[in-house]
Amino acid sequence: MYDIEEVRKDFPILRREVYGRPLVYLDNAATVQKPRQVVEAMADEYYNVNANVHRGVHFLSQQATELHEAARETVRRFLNARSTAEIVFTRGTTESINLVASCFGEAFMREGDEVIVSEMEHHANIVSWQLVQARKGIRLRVIPMNDRGELLMDEYEKLFNERTRIVSVTHVSNVLGTVNPVRRMIEIAHAHGVPVLVDGAQSAPHFAVDVQALDCDFFAFSGHKVYGPTGIGVLYGKESWLDRLPPYMGGGEMIGHVSFEHTTFAAPPLKFEAGTPDYVATTGLARALDYVSRLGMDQIQVHERDLTHYALERLRRIPGMRILGEAAEHDAVVSFLVGNIHHLDMGTLLDRLGIAVRTGHHCAEPLMHRLGVEGTVRASFALYNTRAEVDALAEGIERVSAMF
């Protein structure tokens, strides 16, 4: 196991105080804090290397290009993809899902065709498909879940028919913490000849993901949730699919040759990367993936699952506590409500105690409707959180409860 106190020294922000109290940062599902190694690598690139990538013959441009393409290789290794041609840089999970919805919808979906999503999707994986719905008249079919927050696999199987074109499902719910059985879901989809997009925004930061073992067709994640910078993300796509999808945006980098009469496109991944990429952010992302890989994704998972179970046990002892999300396989997110205390009041008062949690619908309004609530309080854990911070959260909740 890694030394948590040593690890915390890599994150200067964790030494901050807010309202005169030590910061307890439990909003990690929204974004995580960054280790020095990431920020320093980016500063170093701006100070010492900076030049636009791919187009230059000069020294700096070649060095920047090498760093950028080395970052792609780091991502490939992190996901165990077959080739760097399968790694597309985007701005984040949202853009990755929009890219697939838009390009796949354009090429392979017609009026009446169907996409299967689940009841626990983030808006990114709902609205992207609704945009295709508005353009092409496709239908969204929704996998229901039980009251513990587990998808109903029998109902999932029943949704397939001759109009099903793609399944797009979250790996881990950002509200319930449920880890969905995506390996099995992919097997079922493939048995029907249907490809699967996995939204990995809440899985890639927390446990090892192997896209070949999953056999997913697409996998999306965000840099900023995996200790990298904001504004960078990844779309993994099987080469056979990326070859067949039309481009997403037009511009520089994504072309073969251009004339006013006819333009040819570059091969993937560049076909999907129009314009100057955020080549400094890709370096930051690579250093972040190096960082978590050095600690070990399996170690991170053990640590965070321990915190999650400890938190669930501790919070359940609080009078009036209602945990939302009781799935057997539960990752580093705990959503809750206490008595009839409004989630916003709870979040605001916890903040005054130095405890940062998120409140509201967590970009999952349809899930809130299913749960019959307007919003929840959400505590979410990262590799640097401690049991003492969980205790601070529980004591904070007890203090706030006593005020009502």
Residues forming contacts to ligand PLP in the complex (CB under 6 A) are 29, 92-94, 122, 124, 170, 174, 199, 201-202, 222
User: CB-wise, 113 or 150, nearer to ligand PLP?
Assistant: 150
DSSP 3-state of 169: strand
DSSP β-bridge partners for residue 255: 265
What are φ and ψ of residue 262, in 5° steps? -155, 135
* DSSP-assigned letters across all residues of 241-257: HHHHSPPSS-STTSEEE
User: CB-wise, 64 or 332, nearer to ligand PLP?
Assistant: 332
User: CB-wise, 202 or 385, nearer to ligand PLP?
Assistant: 202
Q: Which two tokens stand for residue 369?
A: 């409707």
User: CB-wise, 122 or 303, nearer to ligand PLP?
Assistant: 122
User: CB-wise, 29 or 64, nearer to ligand PLP?
Assistant: 29
Residue (of 292, 195, 207) closest to 238 by Cα position: 195
Residue 324 Cβ vs ligand PLP, minimum distance, rounded to whole Å: 15
Residue 229 Cβ vs ligand PLP, minimum distance, rounded to whole Å: 12
Residue 269: is the preceding peptide bond cis (ω within 30°)? yes
Separation CA 54–CA 264 (nearest Å): 18
Residue 336 Cβ vs ligand PLP, minimum distance, rounded to whole Å: 17
Separation CA 43–CA 53 (nearest Å): 17
What are the Cα distances from residue 150, in Å, to 75, 173, 220, 362? 30, 10, 21, 18
Separation CA 242–CA 264 (nearest Å): 15
Separation CA 219–CA 27 (nearest Å): 23
Residue 94 Cβ vs ligand PLP, minimum distance, rounded to whole Å: 3
Helix 343-352 to helix 387-403 angle (10° resolution) is: 120
Amino acid identity for residue 389 in this structure: E
User: CB-wise, 49 or 356, nearer to ligand PLP?
Assistant: 356
Among 49, 159, 363, 373, the one annotated catalytic: 363
Whether residue 266 contacts residue 56, with contact meaning beta carbons closer than 8 Å, is answered with no
Positive or negative torsion for Cα 118, 234, 206, 181: positive
Residue 11 Cβ vs ligand PLP, minimum distance, rounded to whole Å: 19
Residue 60 Cβ vs ligand PLP, minimum distance, rounded to whole Å: 30
DSSP β-bridge partners for residue 158: none
Residue 174 Cβ vs ligand PLP, minimum distance, rounded to whole Å: 3
Residue 122 Cβ vs ligand PLP, minimum distance, rounded to whole Å: 4
User: CB-wise, 206 or 314, nearer to ligand PLP?
Assistant: 206
Any idea which residue has 């904070």 for tokens?
A: 396
Whether residue 144 contacts residue 155, with contact meaning beta carbons closer than 8 Å, is answered with yes
103 among known catalytic residues: no
CA 153 to centroid of chain Cα atoms: 23
Whether residue 175 contacts residue 378, with contact meaning beta carbons closer than 8 Å, is answered with yes
User: CB-wise, 164 or 168, nearer to ligand PLP?
Assistant: 168
Residue (of 361, 383, 380) closest to 289 by Cα position: 383
What are φ and ψ of residue 325, in 5° steps? 110, 95
Residues marked active site are found at 363
